[in-house]
Structure 1
């Protein structure tokens, strides 16, 4: 991550005009420091929260990635003169209220319901002692792989080590004030049993949701009925109790002095409660940033316990971390579906933005997502002009490649200096394309036979390509496609921009038919770019195979 002191002078002059949302949030943080005595001398604390009730999902990564972008924007605005920290806090002392759907043996975990997650046995095996420890490790592994600069914090460790003791004692002292905030938010039945304190049963070790019979602020203790019905008095310190999740938010903010935390829209209505409790406990609530939730393919909220949506590892099997970071950067306050079909578009948009960066002025660069993704220092290497992830997927489809070396054979014919060493990003993309195609495109392919109009159109296209020069560019080949299409009444579009009676436009139906017949897909990138990369002779051979019915015959799912 590039430090602010190394910021290009031209970019420094454009900082005041930068409109990207991380800069907007960083400016709000600067205003916050004005409210704090000696604020300019404090270390600004960014926090992200994680509930390890299930394996980390992409939403968890997104929270850290987005917070990191705000943190970097803050460093740049302050020229690195104000220290910052990022704390990734795991609420791993929370009781396991239900068994996740995506664990190996759900029945084996039933005896451990309501135990703190760090006391539940690890169902995945390996060296981790508990379910919480395993899930925390999975989160850290990815954050480390991506290169985030952060500190990890465990609620279990913080409660048991005494890090929260001072504020927990204050919670006992101001118990009535906190109850006055919480009770109006609860139903009548819940009000009868509610307490911000959740004691850990000395008998079973479970997290108990029971009313307090007595809160002794002076002694710093609470009294409650344990699971066997006997009254038990325990200190509120040393990990013998934890707080309900809403008071826990406010307590943590007050105890740690958190300055910035973002959370999903499902927390939005509770944010005023968190703030009030933080103030009651002597803290200044942090700046918030509320983002929209991710949805799965069916439009349902992604859940760690359900395991729906994409996992971190799944995305990284088929695309780069940078493409995932771009998906997180774009429109955080807009609900987005997060499933496998979004990956190719995210990859191609990342490539477009990376290619555009060197050509942009200072303001454009500061608003470009790649500046934020790469901490102000986007890589200079990119891919050859016209090559996209979608194009590589089509190349895999046409060549039946099962290894990226096959793709490199085509690429080298089109780009003389092409090699994995010269284009390392392209080499990565080729590997991703082979895997993505095999798992998601190939199973859905549906070749169909051409009708009579399409047969004649494809013959005309093949004849026109035969006359093309061997070094025809992608644009020249695209022009050939247009010229053939506009001669066929079915594909003529007289309403297209610039169309005339003598030279009509070409409808999308022409290109759709090409993709459906030749590649078994309904759409794709510019076909001229595909021909340039795949080769004119190879494309003509593909057309010939389609006309002979060979593509349909080889595809058991094809439409006659």
Structure 2
């Protein structure tokens, strides 16, 4: 079938339909090991699947969107950003679903990371069916699949050895087991005895045990076998993967061969997604190292729809950085322009408009609005909030209340204002931050600066700052102050900024004076 639009998500959906044929349900899958705080780089996988799921639904297809939590994986490293480091270190080599929560809030280390991320993605309109692998393995749901893999160990070894410089050991098995006594996975030996029988000896506590695959809660497949097994078990039609899985001989390459050889099923349609970095940071984020930015932290700066739009606007196989520096202003401006264009009429020459419109549609947390709400320009908003000392209500009442046309405009303003203030207080460079003095302060000024400041106070008696345009006010500052007093323009601006915010530079002066208002400017300059 032809894609609904040229957008990459619609193209991916069309490939899924073409490869799978007509089905009652199309299954799309995502998942991760919650080995540490789940970060914005991990979010790229789940948003990629969500966008393709939406594209499939737009094509009239029923979709099952599953998200697998690999919480039966091993704790191999203690992330640096977590409390209770000693306790976590004592639990190394145990399944993360059986490690205590270092925060003391949830039933396990894994459960804490899972709960936080599930709440985060719910806030951006993502609601998959969550599958918890500790429960599924622990209930022996995969017992027959494990038995099948063990019976085909030599086939698995042959496939994996194709991509290895050294062959797997003669006694290699496609499984891993946790000791029932000490709960760790370091064994002296593991043996498959045929049928459902399995035995091991723990290399740490010495426990020896023979068990029934159908009854144990401690046995699992290793990753290279587990992933294709689940493709077959869940009948997955689409799943993306990161660069590490997509390399030659990576787990997708081996998985394709394993799922065909053992379960006679084709691998799902696949998209590689690349790394997400933070502008100003370096390298790949890592949950296990603790060097990361979470989705919640991104949502403190960007509105939920904007987070979705940032990812919908990028092809998955391109690296990109999320900005927390001054480029935040640029991102907001670009979104505002895109929203207006997307909700406007179709251009005579559409060009890239269909992709722009589709990215906007896919970014919406809920329904696509009929018209764009009023969006306060981000740069303007950061300045006005600082003039009001971060008071959103006063900022709304002073500048935006009269512009709003309804509740959606008000909601859009408050959402953006909260994030603008977060950016100013936590991320903005020093040159963007200032605080207005509450009373006149003593500043040493030259004679020309003093004359220019007095001329500004006099000018306020002849102009209405509420109605005059910034461009016209700028001309008056030059004609009636700089030209008349002979004060250098830069020195005049410096004098005003020093008297108002205690710095020799600040926002564009005409707009700044208008936003301050005549009464406040007069008060702060009254001692000159």
TM class, shorter-chain normalised? Answer: 0.7 to 0.9
Alignment of 1:198-213 (within 5 A): 198-208=176-186, 212=190
CA deviation map 1:334-393 (0-9, x unaligned) = 2223453364444443333222222142973564322011278323464547x3122211
Q: Is the 8 A contact 1:383 1:426 kept in 2?
A: no
1:24 aligns with 2:11: yes
Q: Distance in 1 between matches of 2:319 and 2:273?
A: 8
Residues 270-317 of structure 1 show CA distances to partners (whole Å, capped at 9, x for unaligned) of: 121122222222122111111111224321211112332322222233
**Which runs of no fewer than 5 residues in structure 2 stay unpaired?**
435-442, 480-489
1:389 aligns with 2:373: no
Report matched runs for 1:14-413 at 5 Å: 18-34=5-21, 40-77=22-59, 80=60, 82-126=61-105, 128-186=106-164, 188=166, 191=169, 194-208=172-186, 212=190, 214-216=191-193, 218-227=194-203, 228=205, 232-237=209-214, 238-269=216-247, 270=250, 271-282=252-263, 283-296=265-278, 297-331=280-314, 332-338=316-322, 340-341=324-325, 343-361=328-346, 364=353, 367-368=356-357, 369-374=359-364, 377-380=367-370, 382-384=372-374, 387-397=376-386, 399-412=387-400
Q: Judge conservation of contact 2:304–2:365 (CA < 8 Å) in 1.
A: no
CA–CA separation in structure 1 for the residues paired with 2:49 and 2:41: 12
**Matched-pair contact (CA < 8 Å) for 1:69–1:375:** no
- For residues 158-211 of structure 1, what are the alpha-carbon distances to aligned partners after superposition, in whole Å with 9 as ceiling and x for unaligned? 112233223222211211111112234445497467432112223322234666
Change (3 A) 1:444 1:208: farther
Q: Give TM-score scaled by structure 2 length.
A: 0.79
Stretch moving more, 462-471 or 170-179 = 462-471
For the structure 1 residues 167 and 42, does the alpha-carbon distance in structure 2 shift closer, same or farther, using more than 3 Å as the test?
farther
TM-score w.r.t. length of structure 1: 0.75
Q: Structure 1's 50 and 360: CA in aligned 2 closer, same or farther, altered over 3 A?
A: farther
More helix by percentage = 1
CA contact (8 A) 1:29 1:287 kept: yes
The SS at the match of 1:41 is coil
Question: Cα deviations across residues 218-255 of structure 1 (Å, max 9, x unaligned)?
Answer: 41334443325576443444543112222221121122
1: CA distance between counterparts of 2:291 and 2:168? 31
CA distance in 2 between partners of 1:23 and 1:514 (Å): 57
Relative to structure 1, the CA distance from residue 159 to residue 230 in structure 2 (aligned partners, 3 Å threshold; closer, same or farther) is closer
1:150 & 1:516 partners in 2: Cα distance? Answer: 52
Who is 2:437 aligned against?
none
In the TM superposition, residue 23 of structure 1 has moved relative to its aligned partner by 0.8
Conserved 8 A contact 1:95-1:115: yes
| 1:177–1:523 CA distance, 2 compared to 1 (3 A) | farther
The C-alpha deviation readout for 1:146-167, integer Å capped at 9, x for no partner, is: 3323100001111122332232
Measure, in 1, the Cα distance between the counterparts of 2:184 and 2:323.
36
Structure 1 residues 73 and 98: alpha-carbon distance in aligned structure 2, compared to 1, 3 A threshold = same
RMSD between aligned residues? 4.2
SS of the aligned residue for 2:47 comes to helix
- How many residues end up aligned between the 2 structures? 494
Contact 1:220–1:235, Cα closer than 8 Å, also in 2: yes
Whole-Å separation in 1 of the counterparts to 2:413 and 2:241 = 35
- Structure 1 unpaired stretches of 5+: 1-14, 35-39, 487-508, 549-560
* 2:39/2:293 contact within 8 Å kept: yes
Instruction: Identify the range of structure 1 (61-70 vs 107-116) with the bigger mean alpha-carbon deviation.
Output: 61-70
Does residue 470 of structure 2 align to residue 477 of structure 1? yes
Distance 1:529 1:196, change over 3 A: farther
Partner of 1:499: none
Q: Please state how far the C-alpha of 1:421 moved relative to its aligned partner.
A: 7.0
Distance 1:101 1:158, change over 3 A: same
Q: Which moved more, 1:89-98 or 1:193-202?
A: 193-202
Task: Evaluate the alpha carbon distance shift between residue 377 and residue 141 of structure 1 in structure 2; reply closer, same or farther with a 3 A threshold.
Answer: closer
Cα gap change, 1:29 to 1:407, in 2 (>3 Å): same
Sort the Cα spacing of 1:118 and 1:339 in 2 relative to 1 into closer, same or farther, 3 A: farther
